[in-house]
Amino acid sequence: MGVAKLKSNSEMDLIDGITYDKHYRMTYHPDFHLNHGLKFSNEDLEYLCMFYGIDKNRTLAFGLGRTESVIRSKYEYLKRKGLIDYYRNRYLRKYEAFDLAETLVPGVVRR
pLDDT one-digit tens code per residue, 11-29: 545 556 767 767 666 666 6
Over the chain, what is the mean pLDDT?
A: 76
Choose among 62, 66, 63: nearest CA to 39: 66
Determine contact, residues 60/51, Cβ cutoff 8 Å: yes
Residues 103 and 83: their CA atoms lie apart, in Å, by: 31
Question: What is the percent of the chain with per-residue pLDDT over 70, rounded to a whole number?
Answer: 58
47 — pLDDT class (breaks 50, 70, 90): very high
Full-model pTM: 0.67
Q: Please, what is the Cα angle at 36 between 50 and 43, to 5 degrees?
A: 30
Beta bridge partners of 55: 52
If one compares 21 and 61, the residue with the highest pLDDT of the two is 61
